Amino acid sequence: MSALPPSVSETSPSETSPLVGTAHGTVRGTREGGVAVFRGIPYAAPPVGARRFAAPEPPEPWEGVRDAVAFGPTAPKRPYAPPLDRLLPDPDVPGDDCLNLNVWTPSPDAAGLPVLVWIHGGSLLHGSSTVPLYDGAAFARDGVVFVSLNYRLGIEGFGVFPDAPANRGLLDQIAALTWVRDNIAAFGGDPELVTVCGESAGAIGIAALLAAPRAQGLFRRAVLQSGAPNALPLDDAARRTTELIARRLGVAATAGALAEVDRERLLDAQTEVTSGGSPLTGGNSFQIVVDGDLLPRDPLEALLDGASADVDLLMGANTEEYRLWFVPSGLTEKLSRVGLRLALLKFRVPRETERAYRANRPDAAPGELLGALATDLLLRVPLNRVADARAGAPGSTRLYEFGWPSPVLGLGACHALEIGFVLDNLDKPDAVALTGPDAPQELADAMHTAWVRFAATGDPGWPVWDESRPVMGFGPGTPAVVRAPRDDELRGWAPYRRRKG
């Protein structure tokens, strides 16, 4: 047992300070609005020194009682570049012990409650569990134990090296889910009733976990919000961003060499190399890789071939995902017809597919047309393919689409807009930054209730996926099921439908 860290004390509990014993020591939380909250609990040792580019290791046990009332350190990162920084706040908490998690629970004295584990997005470069939008009180209020976590980002989490394991950020997520399996019963949760839920890069990570043999059995259900299965082969393209950063720093592209580099210098170089890109327009970025160890094969192909067929799956996207990047940057207005044609050639979009989208959007600017095509190519098409492959599987599959348009800056139904509705946190400042002050609470009630039901029972309240292709549409207007929405457009992509047998 280690000496008491600064956050550990020997004082006695009180009514407002619930105590919970974990596998590594006792933690003291706080009561807020009728739920118990525990913040900054370490699930792995600090990734510093020899651990900086290594697989996560268990945390050192502690004696006495460790205070868990404040968010722990966030993974090393830089804020979003303007203008996204005004729309996506990204708090930074300094410190080395960044592999930590938070728990909101109705009561530690409860038993057998469903558990939802939230994995944040941020292009594997940004984000943390500290973001106010990710507060889990609403889920705890409604009988679900909510867990949010940090994982390593950027080059420390997803750089590709010859002398370190790949996908370290994913390994961190598995370590956190292992902690949940071993400890969540002490917080009132059922370790056999875990739903893992993520948005954007968080959803892409969950898709990889669905294909990772090492993650099997750690969760029963999964939610993919605005993220589809995606990974790179372990080749030169996967190493490119790491090598560019190392070259800028004048060191070898190895974990050993970069471990000697000051963290701020490393973040500076990382920012310079990755600036200017986006998930839709490309650029230097970090990706999950098929490493032959944690990920033996491409996650999309694994899911199409039946991986995690027993896991209940809820997946979906927002109608105008692209507008989060295209509108603030002005690309919706700046893109010319020539630029559109070059982009369509780059993405190998069939002419007949382009014509179908154009016919349904006769007044769309070139940037809007490109955005609609890119949204479907990267999200709706692969999610529909996965749903088709899972039809009739032991685990249920359901799809949704979020379509409520934000009036802020003309963002429409853009990427990340649905989070405040799902988590029932429309009053948070970072939710208001995207939705404006008058977002419909009744839509949040509907989405949040569906996610609570899914975590508890596996049924969010609409039909499972079948040949009729039911999709629950959340806005605009009253939520309703639509059969095969815009199927005339999606049929133009090959392959779109994958038949079994």
Element holding 365 (H helix, E strand): none
> Which residue from 404, 397, 409, 398 is spatially nearest to 420, judged by alpha carbons?
404
Report angle CA 395, 397, 401 to the nearest 5 degrees: 160
Query: What digits encode the pLDDT tens for the residues 418-463?
Result: 999 999 999 999 999 999 999 999 999 999 999 999 999 999 999 9
pLDDT of the residue at 16 = 81
How confident is the prediction for the chain on average, in pLDDT? Answer: 94
Percent of the chain scored above 90 by pLDDT? Answer: 91
Residue 15: pLDDT band (50, 70, 90) is low
DSSP 75: P
**Catalytic residue among 24, 120, 126, 415, which?**
415
Residue 362 structure tokens: 């006769």
Query: What digits encode the pLDDT tens for the residues 313-343?
Result: 999 999 999 999 999 999 999 999 999 999 9
pLDDT of the residue at 496 = 66
Q: How far is CA 192 from CA 69, 122, 221, 307, 310, in A?
A: 27, 29, 10, 19, 13
pLDDT of the residue at 114 = 98
pLDDT of the residue at 209 = 98
3-class DSSP state of 228: coil
Residue 9: pLDDT band (50, 70, 90) is very low
Instruction: Go through the chain and tell me how many residues it has.
Output: 501
Query: Please, is 337 exposed, middle or buried when counting C-beta atoms within 10 Å of its C-beta (0-12, 13-18, 19+)?
Result: exposed
Is 183's pLDDT higher than 50?
A: yes
Residue 266: pLDDT band (50, 70, 90) is very high
Element holding 242 (H helix, E strand): helix 236-249
Query: What digits encode the pLDDT tens for the residues 117-156?
Result: 999 999 999 999 999 999 999 999 999 999 999 999 999 9
Is 3's pLDDT higher than 70?
A: no
pLDDT of the residue at 8 = 40
Is 54's pLDDT higher than 60?
A: yes
Say whether 24 is catalytic. no
Q: Given CA atoms 173, 174, 177, 182 in this order, what sign does their dihedral have? A: negative
Residue 282: pLDDT band (50, 70, 90) is confident
pLDDT of the residue at 158 = 98
Pairing of strands 480-483, 312-318: unpaired
Query: Where is average pLDDT lowest: 7-11, 224-228, 271-275, 414-418?
Result: 7-11
Query: What digits encode the pLDDT tens for the residues 283-297?
Result: 899 999 999 999 999
Long-range pairs for 292-296: beta carbons < 8 A, 24 or more residues apart: 292/234, 293/165, 293/166, 294/165, 294/166, 294/167, 294/170, 294/171, 294/212, 294/214, 295/167, 295/170, 295/208, 295/211, 295/212, 295/231, 296/213
Query: What digits encode the pLDDT tens for the residues 218-259?
Result: 999 999 999 999 999 999 999 999 999 999 999 999 999 999
Average pLDDT over residues 65-81: 97
**Catalytic residue among 321, 368, 401, 418, which?**
321
The larger pLDDT score, comparing residue 283 to residue 501, is at 283
Average pLDDT over residues 468-482: 97
Say whether 368 is catalytic. no
Q: Provide CB contacts within 8 A for 17, sequence distance 6+.
A: 28, 29, 30, 31
Is 116's pLDDT higher than 60?
A: yes
Exposure string for 208-218, b = 16+ CB within 10 A, e = fewer: bbbbbeebeeb
**Catalytic residue among 148, 200, 278, 406, which?**
200
Is 281's pLDDT higher than 80?
A: no
Say whether 415 is catalytic. yes
